[in-house]
Amino acid sequence: MIESVKSFVLVCLIFIEILCSAGTLTKNQPEVKTGDGTLRGSEEKAVQGFSYYSFKGIPYAQPPVGPLRFKAPLTPKPWHGTRDATKYGAACAQFNVTFVGSEDCLFLNVFTRSLDPRANLPVMVFVHGGSFAFGAANEFFEPEFLIQHDVILVTLNYRLEVLGFLSLDIPEAPGNAGMKDQVAALKWVQQNIKQFGGNPNSVTLFGESSGAGAVTYHMLSPMSKGLFHKVIAESGNCMQDWAISQDSIGRALRAGKVLGKDTNNVNELLDFFMSLKASALTNLTEVTLTEDEMYRGVPARFVPAIESKFRGIEPFITEHPVMALTKGRINSVPLMIGYNAGEGIALVAYHIAKLDGFNRNPSYYIQKEIVNKVSEAKLKEFGDRVQKFYVGDRNMTADDGAIIRDLQTDITFAYSGHRFASLHSEYEKVYFYKFNFVTDLNVIKATLPDLEGATHGDELFYLFSNYITSKIYQNPKIKVIVDKVTKLWANFAKCGSPTPDNKLGVSWPRYTRHNKEYLNIADNFPSGRYADRERMEFWNNIYKEAGLPHIAS
């Protein structure tokens, strides 16, 4: 890492640029020549004291506006002169309390400690979560914690909700525009990251929640083949109900009706959607839920869809993720995957608000994938078994916070994580984890019911610095934890193993189907076998009886 901007270092950087067309540095304003034009970034000071280079708001595709709405992104148009890259680009259009963002949002950010093309640093590309409906690559995901370990961090925006995931099963709106945005960003990385000191042959794709769903989709998509080399999936994957679109056309028609267009003609509907402002095409998930969907699963519904094949249009994915994985039709790369011990804490209040419906019909606990496979009688039996397993011979109450935490952890994140790990381990090495650090960095947990465990999203504050936790990080004990956690992630990105040596004092065993080894990311980092075994085996038996792929013995 470059520790300062002393004149000697400046001279060296300029000399390197002359010799090998690297970035330049003028008055703390580094410049890099990409395939589309020259970018001027900034030199920043990390909280740890080192300097690094920041390039923000880089267009990786043309703005998906006008006739490009709902379509796959096009390569960016070159620009003349030098483009300012010191500020984040606009977030993609979304509803977050109010409408925010823009359709002109396909930007990425690059953070690096070297601008020497010979540095060959491993690259980590992060896909943010947010139910495929909200979120952005912005100041919430600052790079210092990760890039201290000599990796490059890339963060990116992608189209969201209706604008990103409308699927009408016609060539003009086949679906998965948001996923195709991510592919375009990965292609940009392949073409340009060397100029930022990165190694295009060592790209780790990682994401959290729906971002984890996204990165595991890339493992199955022929469109993404060769664009990345390792994957980290935090609290999610593409096999879960909330990551797979159900009745895409019906949902779009309901959205049209809400907005004032009552039609069953998808072409008419598309014309109507094309005529609306972007702000109208947000915040449409909950108002398009069916009665069943109000209870079954979490409200993430404009999500990746299984596409039909149309002439001249490259699909992102054309078969169910479970089928693709079980048949071995995958981009076989090393995988690190896991979940947080108290994921479901974030869903306790949501669950309690719907308790009457769950107690009246416990089969709402059963995932849609199973519902589609079994009879109504079997579905009712499964629901009754879930009720009995978690609360016994009574109804659940608002006082059952810990039980709701475990139930929601299992059905929304944990079981599917185990299942994905088990299936993928047949083809490639897998490292499984359960995250359970609880410190002042758990800022999401601090706003929720007082229950044990790290909740959904808590691990992000151990991976990314931001304005919320800057003071908390000054605690020496917190710094040690953050350093170890980020070192595990960076080690995996560098060599495909989170603990390739004994320098961390941690030994993370490789996952096997027989023992189901995992690392408990908590005090002392103990390893174990088969996290939450009793609960996972309960769900595994249900999947077996439903005749679905499950956790292998």
Show which residues are catalytic. Answer: 209
> Is there a contact between 364 and 296 (Cβ–Cβ < 8 Å)?
yes
| Cα gap 128→40, rounded to integer Å | 25
**In terms of C-beta distances under 8 Å and separation of at least 24 residues, what long-range contacts does 465-469 make, across chains too?**
465/46, 465/47, 465/142, 465/143, 465/144, 465/145, 466/139, 466/140, 466/141, 466/142, 467/139, 468/140, 468/443, 469/441, 469/443
Over its C-alpha atoms, the chain yields an Rg (Å, rounded) of: 23
Indicate the SS3 state at residue 440.
coil
Q: Alpha carbon of 264 to those of 158, 254, 257, 490: distances in Å?
A: 29, 10, 10, 50
Contact between 142 and 464 (Cβ < 8 Å): yes
**Calpha distance 181→386 (Å, rounded):** 39
φ/ψ region of 70 (left if φ > 0, alpha if ψ in -120 to 50, else beta) reads: left
Residue 176: count of CB within 10 angstroms of its CB: 27
By residue count, the chain amounts to: 553
